[in-house]
Structure 1
Amino acid sequence: MKIWLITKGLLSVIMTMCPPVVESDPKSLERHQALWRERNEIAKGMILLGLSDMLFDVYCTLHGTAKDLWDELDRKYNTDDHGLEKYIVSKFLRFDMKEGKSVSEQTQEFKLILHSLCEADMELPEKFKVMVVIEKFPKSWEDFGLTLKLKMKKIT
Structure 2
Amino acid sequence: MSGETVKEMTSRFAKLEKFEGADFRRWQKNMQFLLTTLKLVYVLSTPRPAESDDETMEHARLRSKWDNDDLMCRGHILNGMSDVLFDVYNSVESAKELWDKLEAKYMAEDASSKKFLVSNFNNYKIVDTRPIMEQFHEILRILGQFTKHNISVDETFTVSSIIDKLPSSWQDFKHTLKHKKEDMNLNE
TM-score, normalised by the number of residues in structure 2: 0.61
Contact 1:13 1:66 in 2 (8 A): yes
Aligned with residue 175 of structure 2, among 150, 153, 156:
150
Distance in 2 (CA, whole Å) between partners of 1:5 and 1:23 is: 32
Structure 1, unpaired ranges of 5+: none
Question: How many residues get paired?
Answer: 150
Q: Which moved more, 1:26-35 or 1:81-90?
A: 26-35
Tell me, which stretches of 5 or more residues in structure 2 are unaligned?
Answer: 1-30, 182-188
Quote the RMSD (CA, aligned, Å): 3.3
Distance apart, 1:109 and its partner CA: 0.9
CA distance in 1, matches of 2:101, 2:40: 18
Q: Give CA-to-partner distance per residue, 1:95-135, whole Å, 9 cap, x none.
A: 11234221110011112223434553432342x44443343
1:91 corresponds to 2:116: no
Displacement of 1:86 in angstroms is 1.0
Contact 1:16 1:67 (C-alpha < 8 Å) held by counterparts: no
What is the CA distance between 1:79 and its match in structure 2?
Answer: 4.6
The alpha-carbon deviation at position 31 of structure 1 amounts to 5.9
| 1:14–1:125 CA distance, 2 compared to 1 (3 A) | closer
Determine what percentage of the aligned residue pairs are the same residue: 30
Q: Name the structure 2 match of 1:63.
A: 92
Within 5 Å, give how 1:1-156 maps onto structure 2: 1-22=31-52, 24=54, 34-60=64-90, 62-79=91-108, 82-117=111-146, 120-126=150-156, 128-138=157-167, 142-143=168-169, 145-152=170-177, 155-156=180-181
Match of 2:185 in 1: none
Q: Using the alignment, how far apart are the partners of 1:153 and 1:14 within structure 2?
A: 51
Larger radius of gyration: 1
CA distance in 2, matches of 1:34, 1:76: 30
Q: TM-score, normalised by structure 1?
A: 0.71
- Pick closer, same or farther for the CA change 1:12–1:111 going to 2, 3 Å: closer
